[in-house]
Amino acid sequence: MDEKHQKQEEMRAARRKRRIRNQILAYIVLVVFLAAAAAGIVAAVKYITQAARSRQQESQQESMDAIDDLLDVEDIPTPEPTVTEEPVVEQTPEEKLDEIVNAVIDVMPLEDKVAGLFIVTPEAITGVSKAVKAGEGTKDALSEWPVGGLVYFKQNMQSAEQLEEMLHNTALYARAPLFLAVDEEGGSVARLASAGLADKVDSAGKIGQTGDPNNAYQAGVTIGTALNRFGFNLDFAPVADIASVENSYMGDRVYGSDAQTASPFVVSMIQGLKEQKIASCLKHFPGNGATTQDPHTGIATTDRTAEQFRAEEFEVFRAGIEAGAEMVMVSHMAAPGLTGGNDPCSLSETVVTDILRKELGFDGVIITDALNMGAISDYYGSEEAAIMALQAGCDMLLMPENLEEAYNGILNAVNEGYISEERINDSLRRIYRIKYADRLVSE
């Protein structure tokens, strides 16, 4: 009886092991099922099928164990399975931003994509002579012309209440986030200060003469605070040019005549704007300070060599890029020393792509200077200039002389295969990375 009792106890022990093992397998099946449900129906079916097969194999094993018990065969312990959790891979802030941006672009029709490459005046889309409010006319205009941004001048600014309401309504009517931009450098180029709606800030030349870059930072804070109050989110500043030639066209709009002097002021200005949530735009690459001629009125050229540009002007822009400037504006000045010809830099692939994008490593938005300036409009049609600027590598087109011609020119170029839609998408990704950057939630 003792030997029989011992065998029965061994058989019961073996059965207990199998029950424990079966419970563990059941828990595994449950975990797998829940994970599969979260991943999707297809994955769930796969896991459930695998689980069913596992249970079927377990049932077969139990039958074989029962036969072994009857034949008094020694039960060999089976290693206990361990439950391992799959590591959860968290998205980085950059990956989250990319996901948002790509989702937005994926659902945009081509017409909206092309329109999103332009920053123009409110008059350009509404047809009025002077825009001072945003009502139904602006709402309809933004529906027809879903541009990437609007730029405002002194004529658009009558009072603090009027300006704030106009920008608020404009942003509200837009189908997608807009750049609401202004030229507020300080000194003579200060739209809000000229309209009496912001504190006056000294010119870059005067600030540079102080020798203290903190003054440029304070200027950035002052300007940024005013812009943020009214609803602007982009300042076409700071000027990163240097007065590298005598009687430079840029005058007192530059911080100095060499890179060592100008660079820390440019960096400080960017920091001041950034703290007030205002995107900055370095201008005018590769350096308008290298010419005595005004590109607003016609062709402007420089005889500065590539070596001179790399030793001085490029270093200021490089410092601004490293400081986090979101945009760089490219000049219409001709620089044969860089391009080998007399084409405006804004239309030159050598300047825009080979130098600014690749050599200096700028991965933000590249925008043209205003395309209605004489250096462009006297020599190129709106359609031709817009296409050439995109082919050179620019992402955004500022104030073409004729918006409709420029827009239709690009749209036709894409439809006819001269410019790929993916090329447009590349620019939009850079644009929307700026527009949606504030939606990131860092964990």
Q: How many residues does the chain have?
A: 443
- Same domain flag for 324 and 239: yes
Is 83 inside any structural domain? no
What pLDDT score does 3 carry?
52
100 with 61, same domain? no
In a domain, 85, yes or no: no
Residue 114 counted as domain residue? yes
pLDDT digits (tens, 9 = 90+) for 258-304: 999 999 999 999 999 999 999 999 999 999 999 999 999 999 999 99
pLDDT tens, position by position, 203-220: 999 999 999 999 999 999
pTM listed for this prediction: 0.80
26 and 122 assigned to the same domain: no
Could you tell me the pLDDT band of residue 382, with boundaries at 50, 70 and 90?
A: very high
Full residue range of the structural domain in which residue 26 is found: 2-70
- pLDDT for 95: 84
Do residues 61 and 126 both lie within one domain? no
Is 205 inside a domain boundary?
Answer: yes
For 9-48, the pLDDT digits (tens) are 554 454 445 444 444 444 444 434 444 444 444 444 344 3
Q: In the structure, what pLDDT confidence band is assigned to residue 93 with cuts at 50, 70 and 90?
A: confident
Same domain (yes/no): 51, 155 = no
Burial string for 230-258 (b: 16+ CB within 10 Å, else e) reads bbbbbbbbbbbbbbbbeebbbebbbbbbb
**How many domains are there within the chain?**
2
In terms of domains, do 265 and 372 share one? yes
pLDDT number for residue 380: 97
Q: For residues 429 and 122, what is the distance between their CA atoms, to the nearest angstrom?
A: 24
In a shared domain, residues 115 and 254: yes
Q: Considering all CA atoms of the chain, what is the largest pairwise distance in Å, rounded to the nearest integer? A: 118
Domain-located, residue 413: yes
* Mean pLDDT within 389-413: 98
257: nearest Cα among 245, 269, 249: 245
Same domain, 176 and 283: yes
Q: Are both 105 and 57 inside the same structural domain?
A: no
Q: What are phi and psi of 344, to 5 degrees?
A: -60, 145
In b/e form, how buried is each residue of 148-169, taking b as 16+ CB within 10 angstroms?
Answer: bbbbbbbebbeebeebeebbeb
Q: Output the CA–CA distances (angstroms, integers) from residue 437 to 93, 101, 277, 280, 396, in the order listed.
A: 9, 10, 11, 14, 18
Q: Is the pLDDT of residue 52 over 50?
A: no
Report the CATH number at residue 283: 3.20.20.300
Residue linked to tokens 């490089």: 318
- Domain match, 100 and 63 both: no
Residue 78 within any structural domain of the chain: no
What does the pLDDT read at residue 89? Answer: 74
Q: In this structure, is residue 82 part of a structural domain?
A: no
Q: Do 13 and 121 belong together in one domain? A: no
**Cα–Cα distance for residue pair 149/122, rounded to 1 Å:** 9
**pLDDT at position 232 over 50:** yes
| Domain presence at residue 80 | no
CB 119 within 8 A of CB 181: yes
Q: pLDDT tens, 338-372?
A: 999 999 999 999 999 999 999 999 999 999 999 99
Q: What's the rounded mean pLDDT across residues 378-399? A: 98
Residue 166 has pLDDT above 80, yes or no: yes
Least confident of 47-56, 165-174, 391-400: 47-56
Among candidate residues 70, 85, 112, the one where a domain is terminated: 70
Q: Does residue 152 contact residue 121 with C-beta atoms inside 8 Å?
A: yes
Is residue 147 domain-shared with residue 284, that is, in the same domain?
yes
- The pLDDT of residue 85 is 64
- Closest to 185 in 3D by CA, of 291, 296, 257, 266: 266
Q: What is the pLDDT of residues 101-120, one digit of tens each?
A: 999 999 999 999 999 999 99
- Give the per-residue pLDDT at 316: 98
**Average pLDDT of every residue of the chain:** 86
pLDDT band at 440, cuts 50/70/90? low
Residue bearing tokens 């790509």: 102
